[in-house]
Amino acid sequence: MLQIAICDDEQDTVQENKKTAEECLCQCKTAGKILTYTTSANLLWDITEDHFFFDLILLDIEMPGISGMEIAEKIRPFLPDVKIIFITSHIEYAIDAFELSVFRYVPKQDMDRRLPSAIKDAVRLIALEEGKVYTIQTSSRLEKIPYKEILYIEREGKNARIITGNGESRVRKSLQQVYEELGAEEFIFIDRGCIVNLIHIMQIRDSMAVLKDGTALPISRSHLQDVKGQINAYWGGHI
């Protein structure tokens, strides 16, 4: 069952968004529990102090007290994989939303059209991520690594070294072979010897891919423009 939070300082908007979310869950044939908040501090407390878990958060940016941007930044250590849909009147926030790895940005003036599709896409992506794993099978072990946990993969001699948030694994295959086995658009080459999961890229700075955990990986000059293009193409439908 998906856990969804909706936070907006206007009660009417909260109820409208809740109704939209319920309709989207029904259309996606997905069970979900929805909690609503009209005070951003309460949502932040529930996540950071009471350790509430959410798969998806619909978050107004312009709220009194703690803004949506501040909440998104503060909850990342507690919910690193949560999908956040920002709702705002100000289009300039879209750039900041990208920096925070927000799933989608919905302008308030286009809510009726954009919000339902954003929620349904998030629900489908969550379901897809839960089912996608990379399997390492040898004569002595079987290991399954969820795609969403893979930060990057680098060549190490005749092995491919898979780095996740919880550690690392090795498989005796070429990077190209692992890339083809993954078969997912979120994995991109940033160098001949390194594949990165672009959902973990926070920014491109000084020819480096900076990940959510602070890791900075060099992007080769020959790959730089292609990497930027692939990131823009991937996130183009999300912001």
Residue by residue, DSSP assigns 61-120 as SS-SSS-HHHHHHHHTTT-TT-EEEEEES-TTHHHHHHHTT-SEEEEGGGHHHHHHHHHH
Residue ranges per domain, the chain? 2-130, 133-236
Amino acid 238: pLDDT: 46
Cα–Cα dist 208/213, whole Å: 14
Give the least confident one: 112-116, 134-138, 165-169, 187-191.
134-138
User: What's the CATH code, domain 133-236?
Assistant: 2.40.50.1020
Among 81, 49, 65, CA closest to 165: 81
User: What's the CATH code, domain 2-130?
Assistant: 3.40.50.2300
Among 18, 37, 14, CA closest to 26: 18
- Average pLDDT on 74-94 reads 80
Amino acid 57: pLDDT: 97
Question: Helix, strand, coil proportions of the chain in percent (round to 5)?
Answer: 40, 30, 30
Tell me the pLDDT tens digit for each residue of 223-238: 998 888 888 777 665 4
Amino acid 236: pLDDT: 61
